[in-house]
Chain A
């Protein structure tokens, strides 16, 4: 039975975690554990793929006699869970392969190895849990084990702070989920998903549950304004774990949102889509704006994750809007786009985090202002990262383009919606997505250009060496996956048809039978895209152009200094910097998005000191929402601190006064 196989896989992960505790200091332990993780993840991947592609129509389910007494722990493997299991275990296999090489550089393997398989086990368990209790336990286990990985390098104060903020936000999110499940289960305690699905809810309940899910799943996925922990926590972990947290764990949160809002909550109302689309669009633009002005390579990638989560949520919101209005075909298109972007983002974000890990190992630097010229010492890594940057910038023929294009096709169907509110909001959200896509291209041009091109900006960057072949193999496989998903999206879309069918009641028309492997979301007359032809055209024209240049141009090779625009300045500081590259964008959007202010400090004539340009930015969400909240909590904690330092007699008095007060209430109760 498929579900039993998945649970055995989870048990194998736990066994690996225990083994890691026992052997983590032994030489070769890291290879053993990561190789074990690859094997287990490929096993679960196979089971889930078999279930999704050729599985029986009835999902396999199992109830184990653990957990809550008389209820047990329910597990179920349906199409949605199988799809996300594929996403998670593909990411896990990639990260484990990368870690076979990267893990050798780990300074404290005993802090990483035991938690890594446990983290994978937690994510897998969330996906197959089929009652509220198991879901929450697995969810919390996932949060805690990833927290342990975030603080694995706890000597750096920045990481400790990131861990604290992360665990606070994770607890807050779980609280929201707990309340949501409490509302769904009702007073009778019907915790199993099957019972929740069959129950009839009061009219006010689904809206409240939706808000709680936006908080609970949204805080884990990185939806604004609950994203603040993400750019702190994801970069703090070792790079392969960063890749998992960014590429995969945010997807588990999206799975939770889909599971509850689409599957358990019953038929949607049209207004549900408004907060989802609005928050998604705002998150997308905000995330990419932050990414564009960020200097830390891994934080830049984390902010870009925030952007992509926003894109996925816009897709989910559109699916809700179309589903509520009975437009099943359009809803299936929007949900397919969102789910495809889930898969695509896990590919290219993992690839880019692996690349940043390779750069970090080679140079010890995450600040792109101190990198530069890495394409010479690390040509293969540079090529692979360039591929990832192209994919995440949504350039055809890679996979990022396909899912975003499908999403825009869904946006273009919005004039058919009956509600005027949606008719106005959806195109606005589409415009914001387009802005986000353009800014994201700018952001990754900047990231790649500053880090890999030009001349080294620091001795560390100049001394970089190419990373190990296993890491490069992992990146290469992911780039191949990006390309394959980009030129053959029809097969993936067909494979996820049962997932969409289960949530919407319809699925996109079959794609793999189209001529030349085109994808046609609605009708041939409207729009179609053919990744294969685009790829062939690009490849052929590039080959022809290269051939022509080599044939026609002079073969004399002349090496000249880079950036040598007429005046060979020996200092690398004369190059374009990351800040100068993002300055136009900061000037246009930063004025209101971060209250960015520039001040030029120009010395008077005759003064020999250099002129300086000061830029000040503010994180409005942090200053406006989190800082006052933290201040209020600090204030209350200081007031309540008195309670910690009372005499025995005063404590007794408190008990006594409380007792007398309660008795008094009973006495005067009418």
Chain B
């Protein structure tokens, strides 16, 4: 059981990292949203497995929240939004996909090095989990940095949040209240950002955040 549990947890967490890479090379909005749903499904599976392996039943609730909110509701809502905004075709990436992927590989290597050293005497399950979680967080940030479109920045932010949840479940001991509040905060952030997107669109006829900068003063 012990060896197998570890291996499966590794596989699921590693799968999350892999899906993060998939997010990085999507060049269509609808594809991006589907991959994000997959990201949430893998997260949910990983959390569920942690719940089983650690014997912590409250983590099942976390997994269920992740599945319902992030794998179904949010992608569907974003999809509707993207179609209504008419931006489902293009993704405006900064820098090529190739260099971004290479950078992502570097980030994963960095987080492995850091975490395996920093948590050398921790429980192996938690340690590897944390290393993968940090990779997911960094890849999420990388995505936010390398995308011009507000919707893909939102997706990057949500995948970053997924990484945080992965880290929290691996660390065993995050109380349920905190998890629920994290989940709801993400939902609220999502709503706010959605409203915000429409406001941007109404005003500027685009959701490219670069358009905001033209309306600011200064030496842009």
Identify B144's interface contact among A641, A642, A652, A667, CB under 8 A. A652
- Indicate if the CB atoms of B209 and A647 lie closer than 8 Å: yes
Identify B114's interface contact among A641, A644, A645, A667, CB under 8 A. A667
- Indicate if the CB atoms of A653 and B110 lie closer than 8 Å: no
Who on chain B is nearest to A657 by CB?
A: B145
Who on chain B is nearest to A653 by CB?
A: B145
- Indicate if the CB atoms of B145 and A656 lie closer than 8 Å: yes
Which A629-647 residues have a C-beta within 8 angstroms of B? 641-642, 644-645, 647
Determine whether B99 belongs to the interface, using a CB cutoff of 8 Å to chain A: no
Question: Given A660-B110, A664-B110, A667-B110, are A645 and B216 neighbors across the interface (CB < 8 Å)?
Answer: yes
Q: How many residues of A contact B (CB 8 A)?
A: 17
Question: Given A645-B219, A664-B110, A667-B114, are A659 and B145 neighbors across the interface (CB < 8 Å)?
Answer: no
Determine whether A68 belongs to the interface, using a CB cutoff of 8 Å to chain B: no
On chain A, the residues within 8 Å of B210 by CB distance are: 647
- Indicate if the CB atoms of A647 and B213 lie closer than 8 Å: yes
Question: Given A647-B213, A649-B209, A660-B107, are A666 and B114 neighbors across the interface (CB < 8 Å)?
Answer: yes
A667 to B134 CA separation, bound complex (whole angstroms): 13
Which B111-160 residues have a C-beta within 8 angstroms of A? 111, 113-114, 117-118, 138, 141-142, 144-145, 147-148, 153
On chain B, the residues within 8 Å of A652 by CB distance are: 141, 144-145
A667 to B116 CA separation, bound complex (whole angstroms): 10
- Indicate if the CB atoms of A663 and B114 lie closer than 8 Å: yes
Determine whether B212 belongs to the interface, using a CB cutoff of 8 Å to chain A: yes
Identify A659's interface contact among B141, B148, B213, CB under 8 A. B141
Who on chain B is nearest to A665 by CB?
A: B114
A648 to B107 CA separation, bound complex (whole angstroms): 22
A644 to B210 CA separation, bound complex (whole angstroms): 16
- Indicate if the CB atoms of A645 and B145 lie closer than 8 Å: no
Size range of the chain B interface in the assembly: 20 to 34
Min CB gap A17→B, angstroms: 40
Question: Given A644-B218, A647-B213, A649-B94, are A663 and B110 neighbors across the interface (CB < 8 Å)?
Answer: yes
A607 to B153 CA separation, bound complex (whole angstroms): 79
On chain B, the residues within 8 Å of A645 by CB distance are: 216, 218-220
Who on chain B is nearest to A663 by CB?
A: B114
A642 to B219 CA separation, bound complex (whole angstroms): 8
Min CB gap A425→B, angstroms: 54
On chain A, the residues within 8 Å of B138 by CB distance are: 659-660, 663
A655 to B148 CA separation, bound complex (whole angstroms): 17
- Indicate if the CB atoms of B216 and A648 lie closer than 8 Å: no
A666 to B148 CA separation, bound complex (whole angstroms): 31
On chain B, the residues within 8 Å of A659 by CB distance are: 138, 141
On chain B, the residues within 8 Å of A664 by CB distance are: 110
Which A437-489 residues have a C-beta within 8 angstroms of B? none
On chain A, the residues within 8 Å of B117 by CB distance are: 666-667
A8 to B113 CA separation, bound complex (whole angstroms): 63
Convert B54-87 into 0s and 1s, putting 1 for each residue whose CB lies closer than 8 angstroms to a CB of A.
0000000000000000000000000000000000
On chain B, the residues within 8 Å of A642 by CB distance are: 219
On chain A, the residues within 8 Å of B111 by CB distance are: 663
- Indicate if the CB atoms of B141 and A656 lie closer than 8 Å: yes
Identify B148's interface contact among A641, A649, A660, CB under 8 A. A649
A667 to B148 CA separation, bound complex (whole angstroms): 31
Min CB gap B53→A, angstroms: 28
Identify A648's interface contact among B94, B110, B114, B209, CB under 8 A. B209
A652 to B145 CA separation, bound complex (whole angstroms): 6
Which A256-296 residues have a C-beta within 8 angstroms of B? none
On chain B, the residues within 8 Å of A648 by CB distance are: 209, 212
A659 to B134 CA separation, bound complex (whole angstroms): 11
Which B143-181 residues have a C-beta within 8 angstroms of A? 144-145, 147-148, 153
Min CB gap B17→A, angstroms: 16
A648 to B200 CA separation, bound complex (whole angstroms): 14
A655 to B145 CA separation, bound complex (whole angstroms): 10
A512 to B111 CA separation, bound complex (whole angstroms): 82
Min CB gap B129→A, angstroms: 17
Closest 10 CB pairs of A and B: A645-B218, A667-B113, A653-B145, A656-B141, A667-B114, A647-B213, A656-B145, A663-B114, A652-B145, A666-B114
**Subset of 28 A-B contacts with CB under 8 Å:** A642-B219, A644-B218, A645-B218, A645-B219, A645-B220, A647-B209, A647-B210, A647-B220, A648-B209, A649-B144, A649-B145, A649-B147, A649-B209, A652-B141, A652-B144, A652-B145, A656-B141, A656-B142, A659-B138, A659-B141, A660-B107, A660-B110, A663-B138, A664-B110, A666-B117, A666-B118, A667-B110, A667-B114
With contacts A642-B219, A663-B114 known, what are 13 further pairs, Cβ within 8 A?
A645-B216, A648-B209, A649-B94, A649-B144, A649-B209, A652-B144, A653-B145, A656-B141, A656-B144, A659-B138, A663-B111, A666-B114, A666-B117
